[in-house]
C-alpha cells in the first residue's frame, strides 16, 4: 500500500493529530472542520486569496539561484525568497487565508496568541487590512522581551493582552486565547500561526502555505527544466514554512525532505528545542504530537536563540513525517545557525532570519553532489534579529 502523508478524514497523520479540545469548544471546532474545505475551495475564495497574495503580499516570491553559495558548497542551491513577503516572512500567507475564512463565516472579532510577536504582527496586519477587531494574547515576559513587535501590533490597531499566569510566555498566552474563544463562541475566529492546534488547523495552515511548493514547482521547471529538486530543506518551529515547502512533494519520494530543528546550546544541554529527538507523544494545543515534557508529562520550556523555533512541540504532520522516515530531521545549534546566517549575508547579500539560518546550516553538515538541486526555504528576513546578531558577533 502506498504511504499516505496527508491528513485523514478524522484529522490524523498516522497516529498524530486529532482535535483534543474542551467540550465547550466542540461546536467551534466542528464548524471549522465541516466548512474549511468547502469554503476555501470555492473559486471566489481562491480568487480573492490569490489576488491578495499577489497584490498585497508580493507573490510569487523569487526562486533565486544562489551562485556564490552554490560554488562554495559545490552543488546547486536555490533559495525560495519568503523573506521578501510583506511583513518579512511566510506567516502572512496563512493569516490572509484564515481571515478570508473568518469573514466568510461571518466572524467579526479575531483573536490570536503570539510568542515572539511575529504571528501577532501578521494577524494584526490582516485585521487592519480587513477592518476587523483584533486581540492578541501574549505572555507578560514576552511582551517585555519583544517590545518592538508589541508596538507594531498597537500601530496596526490591535489590542495586546498580557498573559500573567504561569511562566508568562507562549503556552500561557495560548491558554488565555482558548479561554477567550470558549467565552465568545459566536462572533470570534481564532487565527493559529503554525501547523499546530486541533484539526482542521494543521491541514488548513498547510494548505494556505502550500503556495510555496506550488510556486517552487513552476519556477524550477522554467529554471532547471524539472519541477523536482533533489532536496527541499526548511526549518521547523511548529512547522508551517516546512509544511508549505514540502506539501506538493510529499508523494514524490525522489524529492528528499529535510526538516531542521533548533538544538539550542546542544541536544543534551537541557537548553534545546529539538523536539524530534527529545520529544515524546503527548497532547499540546489540542493535538496529539511529539512534545518535550518531563517524566510526569509537564511541558518543558524549550530554548533556542531564535524566537520562532522556541516551541516545545512540532505540528502533527512533522511528527508523522519523522515517524515514517519520509523526512530527515537535523538539529542545528545556536552557534552553527549564527555562522550560517553570517555566511549567507557575506556570500549573497541576504541577511536571513535566525530561524532560517538553521536551515542554511545544513549546507555545512551534509555533503551534496555537484548536480544535486537543493532548494532551501528562506522563511524570513533578519531585520528583526539584528540586535541578536549585533550582540553575538560584537558588530
Ligand atoms: C515563525 C517563523 C518560523 C517558525 O515557524 P514555522 O511554523 O515552523 O514555519 C520560521 N522562520 C521564520 C522567519 C518565522 O518568522
- In sequence order, the β-bridge partners of residue 362 are none
Q: For 168-203, give the DSSP string.
A: SSHHHHHHHHHHHHHH-TTTEEE---SS-SSTTHHH
Q: Which atom of ligand 1 is nearest to the CA of 194?
A: 7
Residue minimizing CA distance to atom 13 of ligand 1? 380
Which of these, 114, 89, 62, lies nearest to 352 by C-alpha position? 89
288, 224 Cβ separation under 8 angstroms:
no
CB neighbours of 70 closer than 8 A, spacing ≥ 6? 76, 77
Using the atom order of ligand 1, give the atom closest to the CA of residue 239: 8
Q: Do 277 and 267 touch, CB atoms closer than 8 A?
A: yes
pLDDT in the model for residue 310: 87
What is the rounded CA–CA span in Å between residue 160 and residue 120?
9
Q: What is the pTM of this model?
A: 0.97
Q: From the CA of 242, how far away is ligand 1's center (Å)?
A: 9
In whole angstroms, what is the distance from residue 305 CA to residue 302 CA? 10
Look at residues 209, 257, 249, 210 and name the one whose alpha carbon lies nearest to residue 231.
257
Q: For residues 252 and 228, is the Cβ–Cβ distance under 8 A?
A: yes
- Closest CA relative to residue 308, chosen from 385, 391, 394, 197: 385
What is the 356 CA–ligand 1 centroid distance (Å)? 8
Cβ-contact 170, 74 below 8 angstroms: no
Report CA(2)–ligand 1 centroid distance (Å): 30
Name the residue at shortest CA distance from atom 3 of ligand 1: 308
Contact 114/308 with Cβ under 8 angstroms?
no
Beta pairing partners, 76? 373
Q: Which atom of ligand 1 is nearest to the CA of 244?
A: 9
- Smallest CA-to-CA distance from 97 within 117, 116, 123, 131 is with 123
User: Which residue among 113, 234, 235 has the greatest number of ligand 1 atoms within 8 angstroms of its CB, and so is best to mutate?
Assistant: 235
pLDDT for position 12: 98
What is the CA(219)–ligand 1 centre distance, in A? 23
Quote the pLDDT of residue 34: 97
Alpha carbons 265 and 393: distance in angstroms, whole number: 17
> Which residues of the chain fall short of a pLDDT of 50?
none
C-alpha 223/C-alpha 211 separation (Å) is 18
- Going by their DSSP bridges, the two strands 133-139 and 159-163 should be labelled as parallel
Model pLDDT, residue 145 = 85
What is the predicted pLDDT for the residue at 301?
Answer: 86
**Grid cell of 56 as nine digits:** 498585497
| Under 8 Å between Cβ of 311 and 368 | no
Could you tell which of 285, 319, 355 is best to mutate to test the pocket of ligand 1, judged by most ligand atoms within 8 Å of the CB?
A: 355
Residues 132, 100: contact at Cβ < 8 Å? no
Looking from the CA of residue 356, the nearest atom of ligand 1 is: 11
Give the single-character DSSP code of 311. -
Report which ligand 1 atom has the smallest distance to the Cα of 83.
13
Which of 83, 84, 88, 89 for a ligand 1 pocket mutation test, highest count of atoms within 8 Å of Cβ? Answer: 89
Task: Return the residue matching grid coordinates 528583526.
Answer: 384
> Residue 118 Cα, ligand 1 centroid: separation in angstroms?
9
Pocket residues: Cβ below 6 A from ligand 1: 89, 91, 118, 194, 235-241, 308-309, 353, 355-356, 379-380
Report the separation in Å between the CA atom of 91 and the middle of ligand 1, taken as the mean of its atom positions: 7
Where does 146-275 show beta strands of DSSP type E? 159-163, 188-190, 231-235, 256-264
240 CA from centroid of ligand 1 (Å): 7
Please tell me the residue having the least CA distance from ligand 1 atom 2.
308
Residue (of 156, 246, 134) closest to 195 by Cα position: 246
pLDDT at 171: 86
Question: What is the structure's pLDDT at 2?
Answer: 59
- Which mutation among 117, 118, 201, 287 tests ligand 1's pocket best, with the greatest number of atoms within 8 A of CB? 118
How far apart CA 233 and CA 212 sit, in angstroms, is 12
Q: Which residues are within 8 A (CB) of 51 and not within 5 positions of it... i.e. 6 or more apart?
A: none
Question: Parallel, antiparallel, or unpaired for β 373-377 and 231-235?
Answer: parallel
- Collapse the DSSP code of 284 into the 3-class scheme (helix H, G, I; strand E, B; otherwise coil) and give the result: strand
Three cell numbers, residue 175: 491558554
SS3 state of residue 183: helix
pLDDT at 356: 98
- Are the CB atoms for 279 and 297 separated by under 8 Å? no
Residues labelled as active-site residues: 91, 113, 379
Amino acid at each position: 500500500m502506498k504511504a499516505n502523508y496527508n491528513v485523514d478524514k478524522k484529522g490524523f497523520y498516522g497516529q498524530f493529530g486529532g482535535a483534543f479540545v474542551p467540550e465547550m469548544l466542540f461546536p467551534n471546532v466542528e464548524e471549522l472542520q465541516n466548512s474549511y474545505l468547502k469554503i476555501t475551495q470555492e473559486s471566489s475564495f481562491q480568487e480573492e486569496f490569490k489576488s491578495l497574495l499577489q497584490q498585497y503580499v508580493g507573490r510569487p516570491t523569487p526562486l533565486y539561484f544562489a551562485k556564490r553559495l552554490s560554488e562554495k558548497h559545490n552543488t546547486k542551491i536555490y533559495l525560495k525568497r519568503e523573506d521578501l513577503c510583506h511583513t518579512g516572512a511566510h506567516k502572512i500567507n496563512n493569516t490572509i487565508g484564515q481571515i478570508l475564512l473568518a469573514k466568510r463565516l461571518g466572524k467579526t472579532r479575531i483573536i490570536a496568541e503570539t510568542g515572539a510577536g511575529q504571528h501577532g504582527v501578521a494577524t494584526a496586519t490582516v485585521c487592519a487590512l480587513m477592518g476587523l477587531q483584533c486581540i492578541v494574547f501574549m505572555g507578560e515576559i514576552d511582551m517585555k522581551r519583544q517590545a518592538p513587535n508589541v508596538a507594531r501590533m498597537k500601530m496596526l490597531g490591535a489590542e495586546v493582552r498580557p498573559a500573567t499566569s504561569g511562566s508568562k510566555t507562549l503556552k500561557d498566552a495560548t491558554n488565555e486565547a482558548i479561554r477567550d474563544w470558549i467565552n465568545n463562541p459566536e462572533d470570534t475566529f481564532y487565527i493559529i500561526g503554525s501547523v499546530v492546534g486541533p484539526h482542521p488547523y494543521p491541514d488548513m495552515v498547510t494548505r494556505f502555505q502550500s503556495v510555496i511548493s506550488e510556486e517552487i514547482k513552476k519556477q524550477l521547471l522554467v529554471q532547471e527544466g524539472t519541477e523536482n529538486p533533489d532536496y527541499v530543506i526548511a526549518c521547523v518551529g511548529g512547522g508551517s514554512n516546512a509544511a508549505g515547502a514540502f506539501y506538493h512533494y510529499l508523494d514524490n519520494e525522489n524529492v528528499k525532505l529535510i526538516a531542521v530543528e533548533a538544538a539550542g546550546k546542544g541536544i543534551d544541554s537541557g537548553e534545546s528545542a529539538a523536539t524530534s529527538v527529545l520529544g515524546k507523544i503527548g497532547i499540546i494545543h489540542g493535538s496529539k504530537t511529539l512534545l518535550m515534557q518531563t517524566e510526569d508529562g509537564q511541558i518543558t520550556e524549550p530554548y533556542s536563540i531564535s524566537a520562532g523555533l522556541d516551541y516545545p512541540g512540532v505540528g502533527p504532520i512533522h511528527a508523522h513525517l519523522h515517524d515514517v522516515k519520509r523526512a530527515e530531521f537535523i538539529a542545528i545549534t545556536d552557534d552553527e545557525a549564527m555562522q550560517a546566517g553570517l555566511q549567507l549575508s557575506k556570500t549573497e547579500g541576504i541577511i536571513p532570519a535566525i530561524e532560517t539560518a538553521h536551515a542554511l546550516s545544513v549546507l555545512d553538515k551534509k555533503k551534496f553532489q555537484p548536480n544535486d538541486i537543493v532548494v532551501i526555504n528562506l522563511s524570513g528576513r533578519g531585520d528583526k534579529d539584528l540586535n541578536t546578531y549585533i550582540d553575538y558577533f560584537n558588530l
